[in-house]
Structure 1
Amino acid sequence: MRPTLRAKAISVCNDKIEKKGEGVGLSFYAFFANRNDDTELLMEAAEWWIKTHGLDHFEKAIKIRAMIESGQ
């Protein structure tokens, strides 16, 4: 996952956790605006989420943040 996507994902996780608590879940779609203007980046996130890590559609934001911060 490229550094810009990692930074964006961590920021989104932090924001969701701050607003809704540590139990909040999210999907990789949360890292993007409602309109997809970067298909390549969306596919990169989807591959990391689904193919590389086999994650469910919704996962806890704290889990995703920890995975990304650890370099997974």
Structure 2
Amino acid sequence: MRYSLKQKIIDVCNQKIKQKGENVGLSFYAFFANKNDDPELLFEVAQWWILTHKLDHFEKAVKIKEMVNELS
């Protein structure tokens, strides 16, 4: 996963946790605007979320942040 995407995911997770607390859940759509202006990036996240890790539609932001932090 590219560095800019990892940083965006971590930033969004931090923001959601700050706003709604440690138990906040989110989907991979949380990292994108409501319109599909970067389909390759959306697919990259969807592949990581769905195919690679077989995550549910909604997951805890804390869990996603930890997973992304573990990536090299």
- TM-score w.r.t. structure 1 length? 0.97
Matches within 5 A, 1:60-71: 60-71=60-71
Matches within 5 A, 1:1-72: 1-71=1-71
Give % identity. Answer: 65
Give unmatched runs, 5+ long, in structure 1: none
SS of 1:41 mapped into structure 2:
helix
User: What amino acid is the match of 1:45?
Assistant: V
Give unmatched runs, 5+ long, in structure 2: none
Q: Runs of 4 or more off by more than 3 Å in structure 1?
A: none
Offset, 1:44: 0.2
Report the Cα distance in structure 1 between the residues aligned to 2:64 and 2:13, rounded to whole angstroms: 7
- TM-score w.r.t. structure 2 length? 0.97
